[in-house]
Structure 1
Amino acid sequence: MRPRFAPSNPQLPPSPPRLWNPPQDPEKPACPYQERFAVEIKRHTPPPPFGDPQHGPGAWRERSDVQLYSATQTEVVMAYPPLERENTSSSSPAPTAALTILGTLAVADGRGPQLVVCSVTPKTLPKALPQAPYEAVAKIFDPLYYSFECKAAAHMPVNVAWEADVHYTHEAAAYDHLHRTGQTGLFAPEYFGSWTFTLPITHAGRKVQRSVRLVLMEKIKGPSIRSVCLDPVALSGYTEQDRLDIFAKVLDGIVRQRHAGVDQRDLASRNVILRPSSSPSTGNKPPLPQPVIIDYNTAVVFELTRLGKRPFQLAKLPENPMQVFWNTRFAEFRGWVPSRWDGNAQLCQQWLKERFGGKAASQYTPVSSKLEFAK
């Protein structure tokens, strides 16, 4: 289940309406993130992640003059421009690039982060990033196209500016840490940095510019596990053993990311992309794809939390997936894992023991507690 962030604490009117609905918002433009949308982007250093108990409230400050129950979404977004990192100064200008959207992956007003495939043409970039034009996936954190109405509790407004800042700071921090620790390119996509751009808007009778944040990552040419499960023809191309072999790699990837310092915290079939293998075929059977874990906007970088590094990070080897997932039911992977696991935790636990015990256990830190089978 997706972890819930602690909500912001907006100043609400004394008696909020019982059946609040988002008010008419004539200033709000249609969602622009469609094919052929083009903009210049500039490299950006995000603030530290914030917004849940592990991180604390961060630099966010509520405004007493903004009442969520009476403001429009545009008014909220304009009252809360995206956060900037404190005490950042550089004598050299930030690298820039031209971004053009080639196609959409998940774009909709009210969706939250917008996902698009884009071409990126560098103008001035550091040597660590590609110098020639390249394709990437852009994840755009534009609060104007988040859901103003709470999806978990109808008739309640959400401070969309706060939510977009939280998502952006978590995603950028996770990718940056995974990149610095050599974890991108295998179980996580390659990371091409965090960026910002501006869009024009007419607000309160004035034409102004507003800032929007995004991250760029590798475009994985493969389906998600969820989309395969929804396609009987595609699913039939995988035997049960194939699916479990891939699933074992997913769990292995998670514990290796945790050992490196990142907990993705939203493990679900929709967040695992199957990258086609570059290995040669053996016989008539093509090699299994490599699972790639995406979606880090609720992730935690342990070193950036109040608790700091976790004890298991100090070990030479990662935790054994048996220990991490022993009591996990994997409901988000229904259709991929065996249906007989439903309602029978022992079968799942037995598979974990067979897969990650014995000789395979030498790849991980020894299990530190006795694992009891479910009754």
Structure 2
Amino acid sequence: MPRRRRPRAKEPKKPKFKIPFLDRGRPASPFCTESRWTIQQHEPLPPFGTGYKTKHRRGEEILAQMREEQLPQSIYCLDNQPPGPEPAEDAPRLDIEVADALRPLLTCGAHVVACRILSGTIPSQSPSSSSSFSSSTATACPPPPSSSPATIVAKIFDPMYYYHNGDYDIVDLADMEYCRETAAYQHLVRQGVDGKLLPAYFGSYSLELPLTDEQKECLAEVKGEDHPLLQVPTPVRRVRLILMERVEGRPMTAQLVYGDVNGMTNEARLDVVASTLEAYARLYFHGITHGDLAPRNVFLKDESETVDDLTKCKSIAARRLRFHRFVDLGLAYVLGHPESSFPRQPTSEMRPRNPIRLFWHVFDSGAVNMYYWLPKEMRSTETFQLWMLRRWYGDTRFESVGAVPIPVKNDAAWERGEALTNETWPDTNGEDLQRCDGDGDGDGDGDEDENGHGNGNGNGNAKRGWQLPSALARAMATISGLRAISIVIKQPTCAIPDDKTVAAVCDASHTTTSRARQLDEIETQTTTTPPTPPTSKATEKDQPKGFR
């Protein structure tokens, strides 16, 4: 007789959050056109969230209490004000007027509006001489006249208009985006690159919104008339915001929808993608990981719009779109910040990292978001990686890649001569280490870089990928001059070598002095002369159908 399984104890179900059908305390957006507000300069708390040591500032107890009480969004925001100290009485003030809404409000997140300064002084952010992560000093500069165009953009982090379904703490989310974005902008100011890769930063502020009569009634019904917010003569709700420069151009998403990208040549489209990835590499070099590399967050500018400041290029094929600015640092984090989980790029690296290294893993790095900007015949992992190799391998503007991925057979870009092709490594345990000529097919075990982020890991079959296991790669890195060569274990199944094989390779490193000197000369010649793209095109049979 079969034994009956003992039934498992059922875990208590979490209370299901029910979104109220009608929230009387949540009116239409108050940040409409021609509305005027007085804002005061505010110093945010340290950043937190993904990439930082502190993941949540308010804790999960508050989120569990919200689910248990089933509070409407308006009551939850009124009862939970943004954390942190409030601005001092003598903090600089600005009077602003909303001129236009730049991001349609669809209960999706922060407001983005264009505004003009009516009165007050805009604090000018100057780089701090110290290396500490303190706020940058602010000096007063004259405001533009009220009749000037709206060149200032306000990003308002109001949790009242975030998407609310009970799965996360919207007050904590709004505060997280505000602190992360402010920390990233302040870091770029200290680096002296403010306004180059991102909009110019004009400081962080706090805004007080008076409560409406309906909000007072709803708060009294749910929380009682003795609520602390109702005991003051003029109850207000505090909201955080930042001011920045208005960016010219249009995002990559708008170019896809309205810009007729299909009419552009393949070379022009690839130039746009290349300029974006190179800009990301420079941003990473300055200590910022964007965290949301998407077409909607990349603004482009047509550099061929005017010729001799007179004639405009009207032909789509004649346009010269290039990267202009990144926006939206709500998910960004600062490398090397006291609260960050990841260190800064090593000081030994004096140039930005090569985009080949940053974007080799197309999914983990965010390069897959450029899918629809690529020509159709290039929308595959292998083809995209090969394009990166042809574009940036040996580019002296960036740091050297380290190990070269296995090239494609009979590719003109990799014809480096017999001296490199026929190079054979010392015999270790009866196994020869030899440079692969492009027919290798093995399992690539990706490993995170020394910073532990950015271009992550992944197990998968990778033709023409990194055939060198991570443990063996670190061992071979100790041999001088071997970083420009990709090697594989000459085995039928391309199995990963054991620890004895790795140890044998390390022991044999002292016998390769003359060979290392020869390879140093080859590496120098390789890095100083960028490879030329091959003239032959890949056949349709060699083109995979999509990113895999």
1:168 matched to which residue of 2?
178
Give yes or no for the alignment of 1:180 onto 2:183: no
Equivalent residues, number: 349
How far does residue 324 in structure 1 lie from its aligned partner after superposition?
0.6
How far does residue 63 in structure 1 lie from its aligned partner after superposition?
4.1
2:334 matched to which residue of 1?
301
Q: For 1:94 and 1:278, locate their aligned partners in 2 and report how far apart those are by CA, in whole Å.
A: 44
2:78 matched to which residue of 1?
78
Q: For 2:301 and 2:91, locate their aligned partners in 1 and report how far apart those are by CA, in whole Å.
A: 33
After TM superposition, the score normalised by the length of structure 2 is: 0.58
| Mapped contact 1:175–1:191 kept (Cα < 8 A) | yes
How far does residue 234 in structure 1 lie from its aligned partner after superposition?
3.7
State which structure, 1 or 2, has the greater radius of gyration over its C-alpha atoms.
2
Q: For 2:241 and 2:29, locate their aligned partners in 1 and report how far apart those are by CA, in whole Å.
A: 15
Which of 337, 340, 345 aligns to 2:381? It is 345
How far does residue 272 in structure 1 lie from its aligned partner after superposition?
0.6
How far does residue 44 in structure 1 lie from its aligned partner after superposition?
1.2
Structure 2: runs of 5 or more not aligned: 1-11, 126-139, 145-149, 221-229, 408-461, 464-548
How far does residue 193 in structure 1 lie from its aligned partner after superposition?
1.3
How far does residue 190 in structure 1 lie from its aligned partner after superposition?
1.2
Q: Which moved more, 1:186-195 or 1:140-149?
A: 186-195
| Mapped contact 1:120–1:135 kept (Cα < 8 A) | no
2:276 matched to which residue of 1?
250
Q: For 2:406 and 2:237, locate their aligned partners in 1 and report how far apart those are by CA, in whole Å.
A: 55
Matches within 5 A, 1:1-375: 15-18=13-16, 20-22=18-20, 24-52=22-50, 54-57=52-55, 59-61=57-59, 62-63=61-62, 66-69=65-68, 70-84=70-84, 93-128=90-125, 130-133=141-144, 135-149=151-165, 156-201=166-211, 202-203=215-216, 204-205=219-220, 206=230, 208-231=235-258, 234-235=260-261, 238-277=264-303, 281=307, 285=318, 287-304=320-337, 305-312=339-346, 314-328=348-362, 330-342=367-379, 344-358=380-394, 361-372=395-406, 374-375=462-463
How far does residue 253 in structure 1 lie from its aligned partner after superposition?
1.1
CA RMSD of aligned residues (A): 2.8
Q: For 1:127 and 1:345, locate their aligned partners in 2 and report how far apart those are by CA, in whole Å.
A: 44
After TM superposition, the score normalised by the length of structure 1 is: 0.83
- Alignment partner of 1:363: what SS? coil
Q: Which moved more, 1:96-105 or 1:298-307?
A: 298-307
Q: For 2:195 and 2:63, locate their aligned partners in 1 and report how far apart those are by CA, in whole Å.
A: 45
Q: For 2:23 and 2:62, locate their aligned partners in 1 and report how far apart those are by CA, in whole Å.
A: 20
- Alignment partner of 1:137: what SS? strand
The one-letter code of the counterpart of 2:205 is W
| Mapped contact 1:260–1:313 kept (Cα < 8 A) | no
Q: For 1:140 and 1:64, locate their aligned partners in 2 and report how far apart those are by CA, in whole Å.
A: 23
CA, structure 1 residues 350+63, in 2 after alignment: closer, same or farther (shift >3 Å)?
A: closer
1:10 matched to which residue of 2?
none
How far does residue 199 in structure 1 lie from its aligned partner after superposition?
0.4
- Alignment partner of 1:67: what SS? helix
CA, structure 1 residues 30+16, in 2 after alignment: closer, same or farther (shift >3 Å)?
A: farther
- Alignment partner of 2:400: what SS? coil
How far does residue 18 in structure 1 lie from its aligned partner after superposition?
4.1
Q: For 1:279 and 1:316, locate their aligned partners in 2 and report how far apart those are by CA, in whole Å.
A: 35
- Alignment partner of 1:348: what SS? helix
How far does residue 242 in structure 1 lie from its aligned partner after superposition?
1.7
- Alignment partner of 2:160: what SS? helix
How far does residue 248 in structure 1 lie from its aligned partner after superposition?
1.2
The one-letter code of the counterpart of 1:267 is L
1:152 matched to which residue of 2?
none
| Mapped contact 1:68–1:76 kept (Cα < 8 A) | no
Q: For 1:243 and 1:278, locate their aligned partners in 2 and report how far apart those are by CA, in whole Å.
A: 14
- Alignment partner of 2:151: what SS? strand
Percent sequence identity over matched residues?
28
| Mapped contact 1:312–1:319 kept (Cα < 8 A) | no
Q: For 1:335 and 1:159, locate their aligned partners in 2 and report how far apart those are by CA, in whole Å.
A: 34
- Alignment partner of 2:274: what SS? helix
Greater RCO, CA 8 A, separation 6+: 1
